[in-house]
Structure 1
């Protein structure tokens, strides 16, 4: 597939779009099991599926890790579990489109902080206006759900920044694989409590496993191939599809109806990401994740896709 993508940005973008579509479809499928497993139960099974996938690919040499490697890996495991737990909890309360759009503020904040250009401030303002239009604060607004989505955004930002540190201390993607193992182990008590209390039917486990496959295994396999083959510009545009896909899939699969003003808010958040993307000179010929100008990265980090 690398040869099929290399030198053809349209094909690279198609793969990134497929990854985003799979991720949001997996979240929607997992939400169908909330009634019996609950958001945390679904996240626990998803984390275990992610651990199996990443460990089978990366095969991390856990016994050889040093203390300096385990510290950021443990922090990454925390962000990994907290990010997905917060996102799925928010999804259960405010819907897929709203939760993912608010969570998208996390990588957007990292992009703005990394570049610190003047037009990025405009991007922040546009994103905030978009969130206001999306949530339309009122006395009946689910502020807890919105707050949990903001926590997910913060965890996504922390996940990106920590993953960069892990990438400098642990070769390949062994650090990410080790973090998923730790996070899945930490979720086992939660899953035991959920199973003991709710005694979910077998269909709930099937849906949660499908969520793990669609939201972790498929995107990871696709991102692993494409991330080093496309420019930061193409990657950033592909990342912008997540809120749009989440809102569309929420409408089609979960019957979540958003008013026109909410769709306008989502579009504004997506456009704000466009303002933070690297310019043509820095994007041309640069693979995502490479350091640009004074050692800083521009645009959403590629680690954001590996969730």
Structure 2
């Protein structure tokens, strides 16, 4: 998962954006770009889940981040000559990004996509409200917590190991937002992101190497892995960068709050993962909490 959460103030990699070739997106309304990015990420996750039978969850993560790293390096051609502070930030970003995706894929291997994304969304939501002493922010936190409790207790048969992996992925997502802000302040374009993606791929490679030993010989698996990388990383990143040039970060955050609901819908349509009515209510509670926390957040 490589998305900005409700507390994110800038896209990963800084405000410079992708090369001029993607600026044809300028004619598309910013909200549509954000929604297309959300759809792209969740369809990519659904495609990844279908790969698990052939490449395993860890192998699929390795394919996704490996292909994403190759694409971003070819696009940006980053220099390896960077300062010590930047190097530490790039490594930290790569470790957090790799861990987040590895944990998330372990989660969706065990529980429905919509449930996993909803639980994981607690990470960025916590970043949005942590440290606040205003009662309204506490209300949003309680609303989200109630939604997750309802999600896991509503006779949905959720495997607790999957819930735990999703919670840990949420912790990484919250950390990712903080590290991404630091990377964005030090890199004016996508070169830092490209280097960080290389480190992320190296982080997950030891976990996926056994699954990949046979999968790498299957051209269809490789093609699907490239598709996951494009749908889950390259395409949404491009769309979000373009959207953030033209809308305030707070509006962007509110739109991103729709992600759990979109994940549940994509899981239903693409994977046939039907949530029970109480679980849909739980998803809506988390979406409402995220949108509310973003809407009422104090400007930084």
* Coarse TM-score class (shorter-chain normalised): 0.7 to 0.9
Q: Distance in 2 between matches of 1:100 and 1:236?
A: 16
Aligned counterpart in structure 2 of residue 165 of structure 1, from 166, 179, 182:
182
Which residue pairs with 1:215 in the alignment? 232
Which residue pairs with 2:16 in the alignment? none
Residues 1:61 and 2:84 aligned together: no
Q: Distance in 2 between matches of 1:137 and 1:100?
A: 17
Deviation for aligned residue 1:102: 0.8
CA-to-partner distance for each residue in 1:66-120, whole Å, 9 max, x for gaps? 1111112111101110001111110010110011111111111111127653311
Unmatched 5+ stretches in structure 2? 1-23
Q: Distance in 1 between matches of 2:233 and 2:215?
A: 25
What is the RMSD of the two structures over their aligned residues, measured on CA atoms?
2.3
Which residues of 2 match residues 175-190 of structure 1 at below 5 A?
175-190=192-207
Q: Distance in 2 between matches of 1:26 and 1:248?
A: 13
8 Å CA contact 2:67–2:225 kept in 1: the answer is no
Which residues of 2 match residues 9-20 of structure 1 at below 5 A?
11-20=29-38
8 Å CA contact 2:30–2:242 kept in 1: the answer is no
Which residues of 2 match residues 22-61 of structure 1 at below 5 A?
22-61=40-79
Unmatched 5+ stretches in structure 1? 6-10, 283-291, 297-307
Aligned counterpart in structure 1 of residue 268 of structure 2, from 237, 251, 262:
251
Which residue pairs with 1:130 in the alignment? 147
8 Å CA contact 2:111–2:158 kept in 1: the answer is no
8 Å CA contact 1:20–1:245 kept in 2: the answer is yes
SS in 1 for 2:188: coil
Q: Distance in 2 between matches of 1:23 and 1:80?
A: 15
Which residue pairs with 2:27 in the alignment? 4
Tell which deviates more after alignment, 21-30 or 140-149: 140-149
Which residue pairs with 1:109 in the alignment? 126
Tell which deviates more after alignment, 88-97 or 110-119: 110-119
Q: Distance in 1 between matches of 2:251 and 2:119?
A: 22
Which residues of 2 match residues 240-279 of structure 1 at below 5 A?
240-279=257-296
Which residue pairs with 2:163 in the alignment? 146
Deviation for aligned residue 1:24: 0.2
Deviation for aligned residue 1:154: 0.4
Aligned counterpart in structure 2 of residue 204 of structure 1, from 216, 221, 240:
221
Deviation for aligned residue 1:141: 4.3
- Give the alignment's TM-score, normalised by structure 2: 0.85
CA-to-partner distance for each residue in 1:176-211, whole Å, 9 max, x for gaps? 221101111333344432133677743333222211
Deviation for aligned residue 1:30: 0.9
Tell which deviates more after alignment, 163-172 or 150-159: 163-172
- Give the alignment's TM-score, normalised by structure 1: 0.83
CA-to-partner distance for each residue in 1:218-276, whole Å, 9 max, x for gaps? 10111121112112332122111211111011111111111000000000000001221
Rate the CA distance shift 1:27–1:173 in 2: closer, same or farther, 3 A.
same
